[in-house]
Amino acid sequence: MITSLRKFLRELGTIKFCFHPPPQSDIVVFDESHIKMISNYILAGHSYFIYNMRPEKIYISLSVIYCFLKSLLISDWNAVRVSKKRLQTVLQQLIYSYRMGCFIVIKPRVVVTAVDNSGCFHWLSQNYKDAAFFAIQNGHRTNIQLTEGRTKQYLTNFFCFGDYERDRYLRFGHVIEKSYPMGSLKLGVYNDFYRDGKSDMEEKYDLSIVSQYRRQIHQVSYAPLLVKALTSMHELLSRFIKENCLKVALIMCSNGDADEIELHRNIYNDNIDYISNDKTAFTSYRIINKSGIVVGFNSTLILEAFGIGRKVLLIDSSGTDDFTDYDPIILLKNPSYSELENRLNGLLVEPYEDYRRRTKEYASYVMNYNPDCPPHEYIRKKIAGYL
C-alpha cells in the first residue's frame, strides 16, 4: 500500500493543472507520443485536440467534476474487492473515471492513439461509447508482454501489422472488435515521403544486425533471460562475420549512445559499421533497404524489412517461447553455430526471386504492407468515415 501511494505521489509531481475544461473536439489524439507522425500524415487538414499524457494535464472545472462523478457509476469497483493491491486499484479507477469525465466534456467522435498498449486507452475504448477508438500498432508485443501480469486489452479498431498480430492477441484472450492489417505506419511514411528512389535500394551490406539495446533493459522482470539470448546471438554472429569476411552494419537503437557502441564493440570489435539511428532521417529504414539480409532477435524493424521483401532471420536463443513464435521460415531457435552458419549461407546464395516466392504469403500475414495504399492514407480514410 505504501509503495502504491509513493508511486502515485511521484506521478502527481509531473502533472500539470489547468483550471478550465478541455475544449470540445471531434478528434482527440490520446497521448502525444508519435504526435508528429499522426498530425502530419493522418490528420493533416483536420482540427484535433491532444490529450496529453507526458506529463498529463489535469483539467479542473465544474463540468469536468460533474462528469467525473457521473463516470464513477460505471467504474468496476468489483475489481477493487478482489485486487491484492487495493489502494493501487482504487487510484487507477479514480484516474480512469476522471479521464472519462474529460471525454464526456470533449465529446469526441474519433479517438486515435499510437500507444496501442495503453491500459487507459483500452478502458476508455470499452466504456466510452460515443466515439470510435483507433489504436495504431507501433511495435511487436512479445508473448510475455501479452501475458505477464497484464489486464486484457480491449481494442475496438486495431490497425495492426498483419493478421498474425490479431490472431495472437485473440489467442491470449484479448478483445479485438475490428482489425485492419495494414502494415507499419512509420514504414509507410518513409516509403512515401523519405525514400531516395534507387539510391536507397543499392545494396551496401551483406548483413545488417538490429540492436535491441535499452538503458532500462534491467528494469523488466525477464531481463536476465533477454540479456542472455541477445548475448548468445551476437557472439554467434560475430564468429560468422569473422569467418566469412562480410560487410556488416549494426543498426543501433540510439543516435550514437557511447554505451551502446561500447557494448557491441566488446563483441564485434571494429569488424562492422556502427550506424546511429537518427529517427528523423529514418536511418534504420535506409539501412535495411541496403542490406542483403537483416537479422536480430525480435525487433519490429526485422518484421518491417520482411514486409517489404527483404531477406530476414530472427535468432532466438532464449530457450523459451516467451519472445518469439514465428514460423521457422524466418525463425531459428536455439541454434548451434553450424546451424546458424548453414542458415545464413543458404540465405546469402538463394536467388531473391526464389526467396520471395517461398516467403511472400507469410510476409503478408506478418506485415501486410501495401505500397498502393500506405497505412497513413488507409487510417485517414477510416477516420473520415466517422466525421
Q: Where are the alpha helices (DSSP H) in the chain?
A: 2-12, 35-41, 62-71, 78-82, 86-106, 119-127, 143-147, 163-171, 185-189, 223-244, 258-268, 283-289, 300-307, 337-349, 352-366, 375-384
pLDDT tier for residue 198 given thresholds of 50, 70 and 90: low
pLDDT tier for residue 137 given thresholds of 50, 70 and 90: very high
Interaxial angle between packed helices 62-71 and 86-106, expressed in degrees from 0 to 180 and rounded to the nearest 10: 120
In angstroms, how far apart are the furthest CA atoms of the chain? 71
Q: Are 161 and 137 in contact (CB under 8 A)?
A: yes
Mean pLDDT of the chain: 90
Nearest Cα neighbor of 384 from 109, 30, 128, 32 is: 109
Backbone conformation region of residue 353, classed left if phi is above 0, alpha if psi is from -120 to 50, else beta:
alpha
Question: Rounded distance, CA 356 to CA 139, Å?
Answer: 24
Strand order of the β-sheet with 175-181 is: 49-51, 27-30, 110-113, 132-136, 154-160, 175-181
Cell of 248: 556488416
Residue given cell 542483403 in the structure block? 292
Mean pLDDT of 128-156: 90
Question: Rounded distance, CA 191 to CA 257, Å?
Answer: 27
User: How confident is the model over 266-306, as pLDDT tens digits?
Assistant: 999 999 999 999 999 999 999 999 999 999 999 999 999 99
User: How confident is the model over 120-129, as pLDDT tens digits?
Assistant: 999 999 999 9
pLDDT above 90: residue 112: yes
Cis peptide bond N-terminal to 55, omega within 30: yes
Task: State the DSSP code for 370.
Answer: -
Sign of CA dihedral 319, 322, 53, 46: positive
Mean pLDDT of 320-349: 96
pLDDT tier for residue 186 given thresholds of 50, 70 and 90: very high
| Percent residues over pLDDT 70 in the chain | 90
What pLDDT shows up at residue 32? 94
Phi, psi of 117, deg, nearest 5: -105, 20
Q: Are 312 and 295 in contact (CB under 8 A)?
A: yes
pLDDT above 80: residue 221: no
What pLDDT shows up at residue 224? 83
Cell of 320: 523459451
What pLDDT shows up at residue 84? 62
pTM value is 0.91
Q: Are 250 and 264 in contact (CB under 8 A)?
A: yes
Cell of 56: 498529463
Question: Rounded distance, CA 38 to CA 11, Å?
Answer: 26
What pLDDT shows up at residue 225? 85
Q: Are 28 and 112 in contact (CB under 8 A)?
A: yes
pLDDT tier for residue 149 given thresholds of 50, 70 and 90: low
User: How confident is the model over 252-261, as pLDDT tens digits?
Assistant: 999 988 999 9
Give the β-pairing of 27-30 and 49-51.
parallel
